[in-house]
A and B are shown apart, each in its own frame.
Chain A
Amino acid sequence: MQSTSIDITSKKALRKMKIDEIKKHKHLYIMMAPYALLFFTFTVIPVFMSLGISFTYFNLLEPPRFIGLENYMKLLLSDDEFIIAIKNTLILAVITGPVSYLMAFVFAWLINELKPKMRAFMTLIFYAPSISGNAYLMWLIIFSGDVHGYANSFLIRFGFIDNPVLWLKDPDYILLVIIIVQLWLSLGVSFLSFIAGLQGVDKTLFEAGAIDGIRNRWQELWYITLPSMKPQLLFGAVMQITTSLAIAEVSMQLVGFPSVQYAGHTIVTHLIDYGSTRFDLGYASAIATVLFLIMMGANLIVRSFLRKLGD
């Protein structure tokens, strides 16, 4: 009995301490308030709203009507386009995710060996595609299906093919085109993060390593550089995973929306189809929730794997 009353008083005291602490830091909360308000309104609350709406039929005109798991049943059991979308999304993510991550690291690592001016120039060359607005539409001309498309004319001239390939219309090539363009666009913030991380590696470690028997650049990379860059590598992984699972713009602009035989259809284009074209917001929210779970799942699994690595 006595112990519980002590518990209660100590709980009270604790709560008072907490309130005092909040009061003491009042100005900090005030400073954070504008951001927090916007962040909750446009990011945190929408995640829960999306979950809620996914159990309803909602078309913006009538109030939402609760229909339980119907959207999910339809989505996972009878929506053939969604199955294609999942398949394409996973293929794109499994290829562009790791490859772009590797490219970002390898190029950052190679650029790091260059002299400062050359380093700045090459950084610009690799980073520019990701900030160039709609410049990726140049790939429409490169992969144009007639003989004047740059890719076709090049391949015909050197005898690889006899007839022009319909890169953007042939289901056999659509994913390949999306992968190439997506990789071209993919050296973004993680690339910059790796460049900065490499410049921050303690140079004396290399000399110490040489004394300890490190003989070539590969050993140096494995035993010194990679372990010292772990925080940047984790950050880069999050960025690349999220991007690689969200491919949509490139597909819609290059191979069309919808693409031939849905060959370029992804979870996000499926979401846009139901959300913005058909105004079936309940169903779109179910797609969004599945997408959310896939993205979070992939990120958390890869993160815990990378964290363990080298420990």
Chain B
Amino acid sequence: MKKIKIKKSRKLNRSLGGDIFLMALLLVFGVFSAYPLIMTASNAFKPLDELFRFPPTLLPRNLTFDNFRDLSELMENSWVPFTRYFFNTIFITLMGTVGHVIIASMAAYPLAKYKFPGKTIFFSLVVYSLMFSPHVTATPNYIIISSIGLIDTHWAIILPAIASSLGLYLMKQFMTQIPDDLIESAKIDGASEYRIFWQIVMPLVKPAWLTLVILLFQRLWTTDGGSFIFSEELKPVSYALRQIAQGSIERAGTIAAVAFVMMIVPVTFFMLSQSRIVETFSHSGMK
């Protein structure tokens, strides 16, 4: 094969010096960002003596799955069967994310595509609610949840999560870009509003589903039940894992395994759905 050498012209308005400087900056901060995560992952696969070896090794020298074996042994010996904790977390995460995607999308569609009395004020309330953190409402929420009898049930965690306003905001912004013609022509064909929503709008906003899922998933997956759930058999897995982690020094390996398990699930999910999630955010802008 004959190679043709073309003098590569630099991209528009880019200097070599600037490129090198900025890429170096990116590299330094990339290491800052990745290092603790790499260490979390690698510690999970280190034997105990290597965990305390000094200086710390970036990658395990003697790769082992002992930490995970110890973790599962501890789980088997726990008073409440460990599968129960897993079930609790999966139930909370599944009901919360599915509920959030459906209920927030149902509310986002009218806000994105129709004009009706009360719309503007409702949406501004949603935008204002992005401006303060949930800590502000934590105390009254406790009172409300206990007065409707949801204390010590999974719903105490699920219901407030479903009402998360960031998800509704992003979904509404994303739906705004669906062409009106599509909805109009379905209406002319005689489809009801509900059918238009389920059969035309929802399939079109799949990228936004994934975004709502990742935002809620990370919150629910790591919940420990807080002050809302006190029955041992209703506690989520992250609570149980923390109890395990509070053991003595020889638990260091197990702790690393736990941190790895909690980290890898949301990160993998993001990795697989990244391009669609980023697509959703192209409509996240605020006026």
Partner of B33 from the list A125, A195, A239, A292 (CB cut-off 8 Å) is A125
**Number of residues from A at the complex interface, CB < 8 A:** 103
Chain B 15-35 interface 0/1 with A at a Cβ cutoff of 8 Å (1 = within): 100100011011001101110
Question: Shortest CB–CB separation between residue B236 and chain A, in angstroms?
Answer: 12
Q: Given A107-B26, A122-B30, A210-B12, verify A129-B36 contact (CB < 8 Å).
A: yes
Question: Shortest CB–CB separation between residue B144 and chain A, in angstroms?
Answer: 6
Q: Are the C-beta atoms of B281 and A195 separated by less than 8 Å?
A: yes
Residue of B whose beta carbon sits closest to that of A123: B274
* CB of A242 within 8 Å of the partner chain: yes
* A233-B277 Cα distance, complex, nearest whole Å: 18
Question: Shortest CB–CB separation between residue A179 and chain B, in angstroms?
Answer: 13
Q: Are the C-beta atoms of B33 and A137 separated by less than 8 Å?
A: no
Q: Are the C-beta atoms of B36 and A136 separated by less than 8 Å?
A: yes
* A107-B222 Cα distance, complex, nearest whole Å: 27
* CB of A75 within 8 Å of the partner chain: no
* CB of B79 within 8 Å of the partner chain: no
Chain A residues whose C-beta falls within 8 Å of the C-beta of B132 in the assembled complex? 47, 242, 291-292, 295-296
Partner of B114 from the list A28, A50, A125 (CB cut-off 8 Å) is A28
Chain A residues whose C-beta falls within 8 Å of the C-beta of B197 in the assembled complex? 31
Chain A residues whose C-beta falls within 8 Å of the C-beta of B15 in the assembled complex? 216-217
Q: Are the C-beta atoms of A193 and B267 separated by less than 8 Å?
A: no
* A49-B139 Cα distance, complex, nearest whole Å: 9
* CB of B126 within 8 Å of the partner chain: yes
Question: Shortest CB–CB separation between residue B244 and chain A, in angstroms?
Answer: 13
Q: Are the C-beta atoms of B129 and A43 separated by less than 8 Å?
A: yes
* A193-B55 Cα distance, complex, nearest whole Å: 39
Chain A residues whose C-beta falls within 8 Å of the C-beta of B285 in the assembled complex? 193, 197, 229-232, 234-235
If over half of A's interface residues share one DSSP class (helix, strand or loop), that class is named, otherwise mixed; here it is helix
* CB of B209 within 8 Å of the partner chain: no
If over half of B's interface residues share one DSSP class (helix, strand or loop), that class is named, otherwise mixed; here it is helix
Q: Are the C-beta atoms of B259 and A134 separated by less than 8 Å?
A: yes
Chain A residues whose C-beta falls within 8 Å of the C-beta of B284 in the assembled complex? 189, 192-193, 196-197, 231-232, 235
* CB of B232 within 8 Å of the partner chain: no
Q: Are the C-beta atoms of B36 and A196 separated by less than 8 Å?
A: no
Question: Shortest CB–CB separation between residue A26 and chain B, in angstroms?
Answer: 10
Chain A residues whose C-beta falls within 8 Å of the C-beta of B26 in the assembled complex? 107, 110-111, 122
Q: A263-303: which residues lie under 8 A (CB-CB) from chain B?
A: 268, 271-272, 275-276, 281, 284-285, 288, 291-292, 295-296, 299-300
Chain B residues whose C-beta falls within 8 Å of the C-beta of A275 in the assembled complex? 138-139, 142
* CB of B214 within 8 Å of the partner chain: yes
Question: Shortest CB–CB separation between residue B186 and chain A, in angstroms?
Answer: 14
* CB of B131 within 8 Å of the partner chain: yes
Chain B 189-211 interface 0/1 with A at a Cβ cutoff of 8 Å (1 = within): 00011100100000000000000
Q: A235-251: which residues lie under 8 A (CB-CB) from chain B?
A: 235, 238-239, 241-243, 245-246, 248
* CB of A200 within 8 Å of the partner chain: yes
Binds A, one of B1-9, B66-74, B99-107: B99-107
* CB of A21 within 8 Å of the partner chain: yes
* CB of A38 within 8 Å of the partner chain: yes
Chain A 74-115 interface 0/1 with B at a Cβ cutoff of 8 Å (1 = within): 000000000000000000000000000001001100110100
Q: Are the C-beta atoms of A27 and B131 separated by less than 8 Å?
A: no
Nearest 6 A/B pairs, CB to CB: A231-B285, A35-B107, A46-B140, A46-B137, A246-B133, A38-B163
